[in-house]
Amino acid sequence: MASSDMKGFFRQKKKSGISKPKSSKKSSKPKHSASCGSDIVQPPALVSHGSLDLQDEYDGKEEVLRQFDMNMAYGPCLGMSRLERWERANALGLHPPKEVENLLRTGKVNTECLWDGRV
Amino acid sequence: MEMGSGNGVLQREQSIYNSLDESFEIQKEMYRGQQYSQIYFARLHLMRTLLNSLLPTWKPHLSGCAVLGLEKGKECIIVGTLYKHMKLKPSILDEYSKERSASPLVQPHNFMHSDDYLVLEDESGRVMLRGDHLLPSVCVTGMVVALHGKETGAGDFLVEDILEAGLPHQIELPLDHGEDKFVVFISGLSIGSSSANPLHFQLFVDHITGHLGDEKEQGIAAQIVQVVIAGNSVEFSRGIFNGQNLGSKDQSRLSEPIKELDILLTQIAAGIPLDIMPGATDPANFALPQQPLHRCLFPGSAAYNTFRSCTNPHSFELDNVRFLGTSGQNIDDLAKYSDAENKLEFLERTLRWRHLAPTAPNTLGCYPFTDRDPFFIEKCPHVYFVGNQDKYETSLMKGSDGQVVRLICIPRFAETGTAVMLNLRNLECYALSFGTQFGS
């Protein structure tokens, strides 16, 4: 346990170790981007779902959706899909941005909120 | 009252019934792991919109602001959810606390303490409330109010005035037709418990179905158009629930109270429309809104179309008179966490706060709705009842906009032998008592 080699500590590398069917995990795999940089400084707690946190697909669209998640005016974001939360905000007359709705309905974006699967 | 000419056959009065339970049904809800923050948000938003519309008439020179936007010494209005910090409120963490402090002995029926304080919370933040206008003994966690005051130097909010949502709009009572029609309320039958006397309930059933008394008595019974059973119809002996698998003998013992209830309900349903609501001891789900008792529990009575299994809380309209009521869990919870002279005062408060169960989900089990709060009272009822109370109490509450509400506390029948009769024509209320003791 005193080894500083994180890769040895976590036998969760895709190439070796437990072989899980990749396709079943793909749709529910959340996109973690809590750290930017190398995975050597990755704290253990953030490694989950059999993959290390990678800075992947964190683009402008995701940024817009994250700002929508974080906006307190539309209520808490945990426990609901983003589209549901948008629809609730719309039904309550809060005028959520149309852009977010378009992204959620048509774009290939993460449907669940930022904290999904991490809290 | 019609009397069949010649042969003296009495006809029972009839009323047009309209169920309004749709918002309390959870069949369409899907649980996706959401937490209770969602229902609090829905409640806050709903009530804040309402309170904001009332602000101009209340304090026209001030406007609302967020809790985080408070400035020291500046008078303003904040709207948010109240949280009452209670020292004696049981907490699961007490089991893990290392110090065995000499805390005061917890009274099981009320957790109030003079050190309780109130905090107002909205999406931006919380602020502690001070002042004599807002008494912690009256308030509970979960109610949404607007407060007028200013921030003090210590960072607290000194309350100068309070605005509650008030009674909602009420559709006027239909005109007096001159015919007396009665609704009978009964609750706490507790069939299966040792304190329930089956004779009392049988006497009740015989009376309302017109099998007792002379023509005059039967005439009165013929004017009953609806029976509402407000919860706790059965009580299972807790002794058999000891964590072991139930043997067949215990299993048949378990179903006896329901079978007995079904036999009695069949007698009622054969003649009068009957609404049965689940209560805390009934075989229904625990969290509010409790779902209707399943029809398979009542093989005899469910065959009649007069038999209706309803949700708890229950809302319906009879000849355009609006009824709303619960089996008692909401009021009992208020009694544990706040203080009032009598249960009717709790009823009044829930109406003025425009919320049936403000303590849900804090101390009262509740389904985690995400987009709505079904306990919000949208239209003022004409009759507001609560079941399973200690004694029969009733009063007529008047609202600021001319609303008139009959408040009824229905006593537990197994203990008191008393049911309640309400006259639809003028909202007058009477107690209907049954006894089988012949005193010396």
Residue of A92, A111, A119 to mutate, testing the B interface (most B Cβ within 10 Å of its Cβ): A92
First to last CA, chain A: 26
Residue B178 Cα, gap to closest chain A Cα (Å):
44
Where in the sequence of chain B do the CATH 2.40.50.430 domains occur? 37-91+112-163
Torsion of CA B80, B86, B90, B93, to 10 degrees: 80
A21: its two tokens: 């069917």
Shortest Cα distance from A113 to chain B (angstroms)? Answer: 12
Say if residue A33's pLDDT is above 50: no
What tokens appear for B364 in the block?
């009262």
Classify burial at B322, counting beta carbons within 10 Å of its beta carbon; exposed 0-12, middle 13-18, buried 19 or more: buried
Do B37 and A76 lie within an 8 Å CB cutoff?
yes
What does the pLDDT read at residue A41? 54
Domain B2-29+170-433: assigned CATH number? 3.60.21.50
Fold of B37-91+112-163: OB fold (Dihydrolipoamide Acetyltransferase, E2P) (2.40.50)
CB contact under 8 A, A92 and B45: yes
Q: Is B39 helix (H, G, I), strand (E, B) or coil?
A: helix
Distance from CA of A75 to the nearest CA of B (A): 6
- DSSP reduced 3-state for A91: helix
What are φ and ψ of residue B401, in 5° steps? Answer: -105, 20
Distance from CA of B38 to the nearest CA of A (A): 6
Concatenating the DSSP letter of every residue in B268-334 gives: HHTTS-EEEE--TTSSS-SSBSBPPPPGGG-TTGGGSTTEEE--BSEEEEETTEEEEEESSHHHHHH
pTM, 2 dp:
0.83
Distance, in Å, from the CA atom of B227 to the CA atom of B388, rounded to the nearest integer, reads: 16
Judged by CB atoms closer than 8 Å, whether chains meet at A76 and B35 is answered as yes
Residue A29 pLDDT exceeds 70: no
Q: What is the pLDDT of residues A47-103, one digit of tens each?
A: 555 554 555 667 888 888 889 999 888 988 888 889 999 999 998 888 999 988 888
CA neighbours within 13 Å on the CB side: how many for B185?
32
- With beta carbons less than 8 A apart as the criterion, state whether B312 and B381 touch: no
| Mean pLDDT calculated for residue range B105-133 | 86
Taking CB atoms and an 8 Å limit, are A80 and B38 in contact across chains? Answer: yes
Confidence band (pLDDT; 50, 70, 90) for A21? very low
Across the interface, do A73 and B35 touch by the CB < 8 Å criterion? no
Q: How is residue B375 written in tokens?
A: 């306990």
* pLDDT at residue B7, as a whole number: 58
| pLDDT digits 0-9 by tens, B45-62 | 999 999 999 999 999 898
pLDDT of A47: 54
What is the ipTM metric for this complex? 0.78
Q: How many CB pairs under 8 A join A and B?
A: 42
The answer to which of B86-100, B265-279, B347-361, B423-437 has the lowest mean pLDDT is B86-100
Q: What band does A16 get if pLDDT is binned at 50, 70 and 90? A: very low
- Dig out the tokens for B138 from the structure: 């009256």
Nearest CA in chain B to A88: B371
pLDDT band at A45 (very low <50, low <70, confident <90, very high): low
| A-chain residues near B46 (CB < 8 A) | 92
Three-state SS annotation for B159-181: EEEEECCCCCCCCCCCCCCCCCC
User: Looking at residues A106-119, what average pLDDT do you find?
Assistant: 81
pLDDT of residue A35: 43
CATH 3.60.21.50 in chain B: give the residue spans: 2-29+170-433
Residue with tokens 């007396």: B180
User: What per-residue confidence (pLDDT) applies to B335?
Assistant: 94
The span from the CA of B40 to the CA of B146, in Å, is 16
Those residues with Cβ within 8 angstroms of residue B114's Cβ, 6 or more apart along the chain or in another chain: none
Average model confidence (pLDDT) across chain B:
90
**Could you give the CA distance from residue B14 to residue B222 in angstroms, rounded to a whole number?**
10
* Contacts (Cβ under 8 Å, ≥6 apart) of B413: B186, B187, B188, B189, B190, B200, B201, B204, B419
pLDDT tens-digit readout, B218-260: 998 999 999 999 999 999 887 777 788 888 888 888 889 999 9
Query: Which one of B44, B52, B123 would you mutate to disrupt binding with A, by most A Cβ within 10 Å of its Cβ?
Result: B123
- Across the interface, whether the CB atoms of B370 and A79 are under 8 A apart is answered yes
Mean pLDDT of B351-372: 93
Report the chain B residue with the minimal C-alpha distance to residue A117: B33
Report the C-alpha gap between B321 and B430 in whole angstroms: 18
* 3-class DSSP state of B27: coil
